[in-house]
């Protein structure tokens, strides 16, 4: 094959044409997405191969080899998903014209059913031990509730959320900015391989591609699109996680943010999301699940804390408790004046308090019992 | 004076009549407040003294001695405020029928002007070092901005907020559930005395009275009423601070809550306020002042953090930066293919990047400069 001539492939095949587009155009290339949406991937590709279309697509045309890339992903036990496939996740269509041409996938998880009850849990790479603890705990809690954890496999919060989900034996999806065969960051190669064994590793760029700044930014829109809610655990001022949350907000999806100490720069982005962007303050896996689960499958409210006997008193009893001495007993007359009630009400209240074990009478009068 | 006969006083004097009512009826006694609002303090008092009115008021009538109580508060350098006095705080009228009959006050602060720019800072007695730090910091920050700190002089958050305000040389108001001459808690006697020297100590019950559970609850409505915003720093599940916040919400006043670690039971009440009750997430004294200051006196937004050169790049420059190798230089052709742009755009972007110190050219080609 001489330079400038595309490798042999069937440009009339929708699958190969979409694979080709994922190589020709960078993620989020609005012109490319629009053209493919308008005329279809096959006709749009034909135009580029015949020398029409944007010059930035034509420069990559000579290197196209979707057949080889499909073979590569299959060698990894992976697959290519395109719109119309039964496994194509319906949640992703919220991206509208920015919907990816295709998804390159490794791992056994069925993307369509897993994303119908999914929460994106994202956050800072440089997180604190607090953030790492909370992300792991939320990941584990989602697993317990069969809520899929979607994240970016980065160091810090992302990795902790995936690890929590894996530890809980729950479904998890890593969305990469690189090809699905190219673990990034390298230090998470084992984690990403394990997600590919238990869950799914997903990318919109073909195998072999390196992550770039642009691909990270656009990858974040996929994370937001593959989950019903995006929860940010820790985020500094400028952060990719905040960007992911803003994409979710623009899609009309709920966004949660985990609060933290106001003295921690790592919680700054979360507090801004709650203050300025309408994010929901999220403090537990129950609250994440409530946002991630389909309507009608919401979890019950957590049980109320055990009750304090003093809290269940009526106003008269409460006044009488206040008026009762703790040590030396008092007469009903003196309790009546101290409580500012009439005597008959005081006597009735004392009887009820004695029944509740909160007041006791001896020969000298009444005193408090059972409470400080 | 024989028992059952009130001490000598002028029941026709509005000031003495209101002082008498503050002794006859417990704080928040809706019937008493309604009667006084309808017929005036003097006529209402005459009714009780003539044997009419609620029996719970009549039982206390024999002990009335407002003249002595006025002398007591004056001996402490204090005063009695009633509606119509120039110093009567207008903010308090938001309580409607629950407005106190009078306010017993110690300290030099002018209540009316001080409460026009005031924030209530309240929270748990059993607070964490984090909560204590934040409360002190907010108190000090309010002082710097001449925002009055209103609180309850309790251990924990309340005390820390007062101390922060005193440390910053700012105005502060302690609202007590006991008489203003009776420091409660005893361990805060020195603090309360210092507030009475620098700011104001306020109560709706006459001198000498002990605090009771009911008086604590109703005291909290005064704290909320004497400030334009109520900010909760730390609060567990059942807490007086949350009650104060709910009173502020019912008055239509803004409520702020300081977030904290979701792993801390002491921040539970704050997170509930933000999640369930519409409280504003508050992270700094600037944000407290913004809610406490009259409209038009709002502080400017904090300056944006210093900018990251990579954040100011256009889309073409960003792609080219991504495509540039960090070490061995690359040709313009190879950068063009990697960036997925046309060559002329790449050359233009490289020129701008070189100007910004982000790319460098040598004989072998272009490489990245200045950024990781």
Domain residue limits, chain A: 14-64, 90-292, 309-368
Which ipTM was obtained for this model? 0.79
Instruction: Please tell me if residue A342 touches chain B, with a CB cutoff of 8 Å.
Output: yes
| Nearest C-alpha neighbor of B154 from the set B235, B73, B66 | B235
Is residue A255 classed as helix, strand or coil in its secondary structure? strand
- Residue A42 contacts B where some CB pair is shorter than 8 Å: no
Return d(Cα A155, Cα B215) in angstroms, integer.
53
Residue B85 to chain A, least CA–CA distance (Å): 29
The partner residue sitting opposite B26, judged by closest CB among A57, A238, A340, is: A340
pLDDT mean across residues, chain B: 91
> CB neighbours (10 Å) of residue B276?
9
State the sign of the Cα–Cα–Cα–Cα dihedral A128, A130, A133, A138: negative
The 10 Å CB-count burial string (b at 16+, else e) for B21-49 is: bbbbbbbbbeebbebbeeeebbebbbebb
Q: Which CATH number applies to A90-292?
A: 3.40.50.450
Q: Do the beta carbons of residue A89 and residue A115 sit within 8 Å?
A: yes
Q: What share of chain A is helix, strand, coil (3-state, %, to 5)?
A: 50, 10, 40
pTM, to two decimals: 0.81
**Domain with residues B76-292, CATH architecture:** 3-Layer(aba) Sandwich (3.40)
What pLDDT score does B4 carry? 44
**For residue B5, pLDDT beyond 70:** no
pLDDT digits (tens, 9 = 90+) for A183-221: 999 999 999 999 999 999 999 999 999 999 999 999 999
Contacts of B261 in chain A (CB under 8 A): 130, 259-261
C-beta of residue A41 within 8 angstroms of C-beta of residue A101 = yes
B283 touches A: beta carbon within 8 Å: yes
Q: What are phi and psi of B105, to 5 degrees?
A: -130, 135
Phi, psi of B180 (to 5 degrees): -70, -15
Read off φ and ψ for residue B161, nearest 5 degrees. -65, -45
The pLDDT of residue A359 is 87
Encode pLDDT of B266-289 as tens digits.
999 999 999 999 999 999 999 999
CATH topology agreement for domains A90-292 and A309-368: no
Kindly tell me if the per-residue pLDDT of B9 is higher than 90.
Answer: no
Question: What's the pLDDT band for A300 if we cut at 50, 70, 90?
Answer: low
pLDDT band at A360 (very low <50, low <70, confident <90, very high): confident
The CATH code of the domain at A309-368 is 1.10.10.10
B297 in reach of chain A (CB within 8 A): no
pLDDT tens string B299-309? 655 544 445 56
The alpha-helical segments, DSSP class H, found in A212-342 are 213-225, 240-250, 268-276, 285-292, 315-323, 332-339
- Here the tokens at position B97 are 């029928």
What DSSP line would sit under A284-317, residue for residue?
SHHHHHHHHSPTT-PPPPPPPPPPPGGGG--HHH
Scanning the structure block, which residue is given the tokens 């026009």? B116
> Residue B154: its pLDDT value, please?
96
């Amino acid at each position: 094959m001489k330079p400038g001539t595309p490798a042999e492939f069937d440009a009339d095949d929708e699958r190969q044409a979409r694979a080709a587009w994922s190589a020709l155009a960078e993620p989020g290339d609005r012109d490319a997405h629009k053209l493919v949406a308008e005329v279809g991937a096959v006709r749009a590709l034909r135009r580029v191969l015949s020398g029409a279309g944007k010059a930035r697509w034509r420069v990559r045309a000579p290197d196209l080899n979707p057949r080889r890339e499909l073979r590569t992903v299959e060698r990894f036990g992976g697959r290519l998903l395109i719109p119309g496939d039964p496994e194509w996740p319906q949640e992703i269509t919220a991206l509208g014209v920015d919907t990816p041409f295709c998804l390159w996938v490794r791992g056994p998880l069925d993307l369509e059913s897993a994303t119908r009850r999914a929460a994106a849990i994202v956050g800072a790479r440089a997180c604190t031990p607090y953030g790492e603890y909370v992300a792991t705990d939320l990941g584990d809690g989602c697993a317990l509730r069969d809520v899929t954890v979607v994240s970016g496999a980065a160091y810090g919060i992302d990795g902790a959320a995936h690890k929590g989900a894996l530890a809980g034996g729950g479904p998890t999806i890593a969305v990469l900015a690189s090809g699905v065969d190219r673990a990034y960051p390298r230090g998470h190669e084992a984690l990403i391989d394990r997600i590919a064994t238990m869950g799914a590793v997903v990318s919109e760029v073909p195998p072999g591609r390196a992550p770039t700044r642009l691909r990270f930014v656009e990858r974040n829109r996929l994370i937001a699109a593959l989950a019903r809610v995006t929860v940010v655990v820790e985020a500094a001022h400028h952060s990719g996680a905040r960007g992911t949350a803003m994409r979710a907000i623009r899609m009309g999806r709920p966004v949660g943010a985990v609060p933290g100490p106001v003295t921690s720069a790592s919680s700054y982005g979360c507090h801004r999301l709650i203050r300025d962007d309408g994010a929901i303050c999220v403090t537990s896996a129950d609250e994440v699940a409530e946002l991630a689960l389909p309507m009608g499958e919401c979890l019950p409210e957590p049980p109320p804390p055990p009750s304090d006997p003093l809290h269940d008193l009526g106003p008269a009893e409460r006044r009488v408790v206040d008026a009762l001495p703790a040590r030396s007993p008092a007469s009903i007359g003196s309790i009546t004046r101290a409580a500012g009630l009439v005597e008959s009400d005081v006597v009735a209240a004392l009887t009820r308090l004695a029944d509740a074990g909160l007041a006791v009478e001896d020969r000298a009068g009444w005193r408090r019992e059972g409470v400080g």
